[in-house]
Amino acid sequence: MSERPTPQELAEAIEEFLSAEILPTLDDQRLRFRMLVALNALGILHRELAKLPPEDDAEQRELAARIRAGDVPPGTLARIKADVQRRLLTNSPRHLDRY
């Protein structure tokens, strides 16, 4: 499923944070230089990610709409839980250890 922020949007957010809030605080010339290089690299990542096609969320949309309409057959929860678990493996893998 497509999740927001997308990978591209995440790269963009980090880029903005580093250039607006961290870069101006760096006095060490070597660190400043390496931060600028890192920002260039992030820019490449950001533009590479922008080339990817958007993920298809039609299936999730249909499932969400069915539940909204009150159509909740047995097995719905198990299916959703497995989906969320998969997303967590990317978004916050250590969180699953808490259960």
Q: Interface residues with other proteins (CB under 8 A)?
A: 1-5, 9-10, 13-14, 16-17, 57, 60-61, 63-65, 67-68, 70, 72-77, 80-81, 83-85, 87-88, 91-92, 95-96, 98-99
Q: How far apart are CA 88 and CA 86, in angstroms?
A: 5
Query: CA 55, 61, 62: angle at the middle one, nearest 5?
Result: 125
Query: CB-wise, 40 or 91, nearer to other proteins?
Result: 91
Cβ atoms 6, 50 nearer than 8 A: no
Cβ atoms 84, 95 nearer than 8 A: no
Query: CB-wise, 34 or 61, nearer to other proteins?
Result: 61
At its nearest, how many Å lie between other proteins and the CB of residue 89? 10
